[in-house]
Amino acid sequence: MPNPGLHFEFNAGAIKPVECLREAWDLIKSDYWPLFAISLVGGLIAGFTMYVLIGAMICGIFACYLKKIDGSGPVNFEDLWKGFQYLGPSALATIVFVVPIVTYMIVLFVTMYSPLIAAAVMGKNADPSIIIGTFLAALAVDIVVAVVMTCIHSLMIFTFPLIVDRKLSSWDAIKLSARASMKNIGGIAGLIGLNLLLVIAGQMAFCIGVYFVIPLLTASNLVAYRKVFPRLGPAQY
């Protein structure tokens, strides 16, 4: 009988960012376009449903990528819909994941317009120093919120893969992801840095290039997941 405790074991210091990126590309390049289509459609569905189905779509996308990374079968677009079986188990994780994003968007919107509002209220008596001060304060708030959001999402980096791969509940997956992230914090920080560089490079390619690096970003994160959480047995996703 398998030991349930194996589901909660993980490797520490296992992530080497450049190696993960290189391995990810080697693994997905033969099925790049099907994975691109899966990622694009899943993202569009999540967006059109106002993030209600984002948990199911993330789980479905990850199931497709893990299937490819583990070599457990061909990439099938239909596997994206398997994410719906994780709609319930991923509900709490989805809320914890989405709330910081929505909060950041609201804060960004408010702080972006706060200098303009201050200038409009003061009218002709507007003091440039006050406007500049308002702008700097807004910028500081944006930076703090962005850092907090990044920290939360870094701790959750393994949450959805754990729900798909180890069949954990949202709460167990969040706790285990946080523990594993803290033990691999250096590798995760390096991987996030590499991902950010790829995103910037994609944006420089007429902005649309960012969509074409999504499969590589997703695969590199899941390769990192596999370094920390090795496959236990036959795939069940």
The pTM of this model reads 0.87
pLDDT at 1: 45
Domains: count for the chain: 1
What Cα–Cα distance (Å) separates residue 118 from each residue in 93, 105, 112, 135? 38, 20, 11, 10
Angle at which helix 185-204 crosses helix 170-183, to 10 degrees, equals 100
pLDDT at 229: 97
Cα separation, 78 vs 34, in Å, equals 11
pLDDT at 132: 74
Residue 86 lies in a domain: yes
Residue 100 lies in a domain: yes
The parts of the chain modelled with pLDDT lower than 70 are: 1-6, 112-120, 122-127, 130-131, 134, 235-237
Residue 99 lies in a domain: yes
pLDDT at 181: 97
Residue 120 lies in a domain: yes
Residue 2 lies in a domain: no
Residue 56 lies in a domain: yes
Count CB-CB contacts under 10 A for residue 38: 25
Cα separation, 58 vs 86, in Å, equals 10
Cα separation, 188 vs 8, in Å, equals 19
Residue 22 lies in a domain: no
Residue 107 lies in a domain: yes
For residues 142 and 108, the answer to whether their CB atoms sit within 8 Å is: yes
- 182-225 pLDDT tens trace: 999 999 999 999 999 998 898 887 778 889 999 999 999 999 99
Cα separation, 148 vs 140, in Å, equals 12
pLDDT at 78: 95
pLDDT at 131: 63
Enclosing domain of residue 176: 28-228
Largest CA distance in the chain: 78
DSSP 84-116: GGGTTTTHHHHHHHHHHHHHHHHHHHHHHHHHH
pLDDT at 19: 97
Count CB-CB contacts under 10 A for residue 67: 19
